[in-house]
Each structure stands twice: as C-alpha cells, then as structure tokens.
Amino acid sequence: MTNGFINLNKPFDWTSHDCVARVRKLLRLKRVGHAGTLDPAATGVLPIALGKATRLLQYLPGDKAYQATIRLGVRTTTDDLQGEIITSQPITGLSLADVETALTKFIGKIEQIPPIYSAIQVAGQRLYDLARKGETIDVPSRIVEIFKIEILDWREGDFPELDVAIACGSGTYIRAIARDLGAVFNTGGTLAALTRTHSSGFDLTNALTLTDLETQLQANTFQLVSPDAPLQHLPAVTLPTISAQKWCQGQRISLTPEMTSKVRVYTDETRFLGIGEFAEGVLIPQMVFEPVS
C-alpha cells in the first residue's frame, strides 16, 4: 500500500512541495517525494513516490511533454504572467507563418539560459532566492533537447497568443522558450499558461487530482501505481531464486548476454527486486527494492 507511485494532476497555484505535504498528510506517510518540479502556475503531471519508491525517482525516464500558451509583446521578470511586467508593446504585422518559421530554430539540441526565477543552484544558492534579493545573476546556459513543437492554435491581436504542444528532454524550461521566441521578433514573449501532459513515464490522461485521491481514500478504492510501472524504458532481467537471493545480498551475478545500461531485475515469479547495472558481464545491484527472503 505504501510503496509505489501516484500520478498526480497538480493544481494551479500549488507548489510541488505543497502537493507532497498534502499527500503525506492524506496517507499519513512520512516518506514521500516527487519527480520533476512544476512551477506554482503550472498544472498537470507530477509523479509522487511513496515509501521505498522514493529511491526509484532517480531511474525514471526524463522525457516530458507540455501544452503551453505563449503571449507575444510582453516581457516579465519571471518569463511568465506571475512576474512583474518589464515591457509591454502591441504587435502589428506578425503572422502565423513568421512564428512557424521561428519555431524551427528551437527543435533539436539547443543552448538555453534558464529563467532567473528558477530552482537551479548557483554557488550553492537557488536562483530565485538570489533574484528576490535583487542580486545581479549570471545564469549559466545549458544544452537541452526539444523533440517536437506542434502549433495548436494562433490568436491574433495586439498581444497575439500561441498554443503549442512541446515534447522535450529533462531540464528544459518552457518559460525560456516563450521568452526566447519573443526575442526572435524583438517584441518580448512570456508564458501565459502551462500544463504538463507527460512526465517520467506518467500521462495526464490517467492522472488523479488531490480531490480524486481524497475521495478514493475515503471509499477505500485507492490503488498505487506499481513501483516498476514507470520504469518500462529499462530492459528487464529475470533471475532464478538462488541468484536473486545472492543479488539482493549485494553479490554480483554473472549473466550472458550482457545488456547495456541499467535494467529492471525480477525473480522468476515476476516479482520486482530493484535496479541493476551490467559491467564486464556481471549484474551489479544498484538499488534493491524488495529483497528475496
């Protein structure tokens, strides 16, 4: 009951930490964590790990997907509508074709400067803490990967808005895409709305709201997502019982053929044991989730 995941649909104006605290209270469980922080103004998929599943967070896939609304003609301190407006200027003559052409520059591996109001640490301090103190910050750029940007809607006007679906790798800031798209046209751009539709192996289509969770708990119908469900991107290895016992005790197991990268490890009764890694023909324990007695 207490070792697995919740696919949570984070509400607007809640921090990711707020959601963890609420789940901790509802389940009366201390060991709760989350994958992939969402800004308070964003909604959507926030994977929540319970109990021993918190140790699996580091192995979840990094790919994410979002639906975003970008407003052009406006720049803010936070690169979204939650910040103070820096500049605001009506736009004329900008067409959807112009935007479509500009968006091609954001596909693939690109260099991105994260927003100054972000949780990234510089010299041991969060950027948003430094920004709130009014300190001048030299934010280091990073390489991120954007797999796809699809235009969903375009609304003309003094401050045109663009709805897009974005598939990207971990570490990508959608607020930065909004800001940088505005910079292409020298008009300014900011993020007006954001919903994460996919994250770390979880999808919005079957996510629970906090209200759903509370209702299911009261009705005794709540079921955790199994700990290995979001780990399907990793190959699976099945061990005989004796080898499984040795592996759970920290021993290395010789196996052929050797696989690459990390793997999910199971007993021959299909019981999930944890995460292993191959090196020179042996399977090394990385994280033992459920030892074999």
Q: What is the pLDDT of residues 161-199, one digit of tens each?
A: 999 999 999 999 999 999 999 999 999 999 999 999 999
Q: Is the pLDDT of residue 22 over 80?
A: yes
Share of residues in the chain with pLDDT > 70 (%): 92
Contacts of 59 (CB under 8 A, 6+ apart): 231, 234, 262, 275, 287
In this prediction, residue 128 carries a pLDDT of 61
List the structure tokens of 171.
């570490």
Is 163 noted as a catalytic residue in this protein?
A: no
**List 13, 39, 129, 158, catalytic entry:** 39
For 24-29, what is the mean pLDDT?
95
In this prediction, residue 256 carries a pLDDT of 79
The candidate with the shortest Cα–Cα distance to 231, out of 268, 256, 277, 265, is: 265
The reported pTM is 0.90
Lowest model confidence (mean pLDDT) among 169-183, 208-222, 253-267: 253-267
Q: Which domains does the chain have, with CATH numbers?
A: 4-61+201-219 (3.30.2350.10), 65-193 (3.30.2350.10), 234-288 (2.30.130.10)
